[in-house]
Amino acid sequence: MDKTFALFFITVVTLFTGLTRIVISGKLNTMDLNLIKLVHLYQHPILTKIAKIFYFLGESEVAACIVILSLGFLCWKSYWKEAQVLAISAMGILLVIDKILKPWFGRIRPIPGLIDVHGKSYPSGHISGNLMLYLYFSYLMGFYFPKWKAFFYTISIFFVMTIGWSSIYLNIHWYTDLLAGTVIAFMGFLFCITLLKSINNKYLDS
């Protein structure tokens, strides 16, 4: 891991730690409630349908299908190391979020939600998993098509932002859940890139 990546990783970890301490203290509860109320000022049946679609696209089952298809494509093209990193990181973030962090913090979701969702809310698995996944895809695509790198990252971030918006709109997550999920996604992305560079020298200068 080079100095820039190390510094960025330490910064991200510090941000997550600081954010979590403030969330646990309850100091951001009013902000969370006000932001949800602000989004709900613009509720409309059409927006509700759109929100449900984007929330569905962020579901773990959909992400799992995308990962499986991507693994198949990478293996078909003999990108074995890229596939290994994808498999390890996808499984890793799923375990960290659903089996460790969410049960540990045990934060209750907003009530009532516009759709039926179970489990704890902090940090958001929708945001952390999908953002890490699509940032990794953007990195790979940007490596082979450098002129389109900014486009790939822009589309990925915009797509995940719509998933985040849908989570707030449907009253499934607090805003700080999404912030924490974003921070963890960048931690996961840094892990992906660091691991990829350590096993495949062609990415060292990217």
pLDDT for position 2: 63
- For residues 146 and 30, give the distance between their C-alpha atoms in angstroms, rounded to a whole number: 43
Angle at which helix 80-94 crosses helix 125-144, to 10 degrees, equals 170
Cβ-contact 167, 182 below 8 angstroms: no
Task: Read off the DSSP letter of residue 147.
Answer: G
User: How much is the pTM?
Assistant: 0.90
pLDDT for position 114: 84
- For residues 194 and 201, give the distance between their C-alpha atoms in angstroms, rounded to a whole number: 11
204 pLDDT higher than 90? no
Residue among 26, 15, 6, 24 at smallest CA distance from 184: 15
Task: Read off the DSSP letter of residue 97.
Answer: I
Question: Cβ-count burial of 63 within 10 angstroms (0-12 exposed, 13-18 middle, 19+ buried)?
Answer: buried
6 pLDDT higher than 80? no
Residue among 86, 95, 163 at smallest CA distance from 130: 163
pLDDT band for position 1 (50/70/90)?
Answer: low
Mean per-residue pLDDT over the chain, rounded: 91
200 pLDDT higher than 90? no
pLDDT for position 150: 95
pLDDT for position 158: 96
Task: Give 126 or 118, the one with higher predicted confidence.
Answer: 126
Length of the chain in terms of residues written: 206
pLDDT band for position 206 (50/70/90)?
Answer: low
173 pLDDT higher than 90? yes
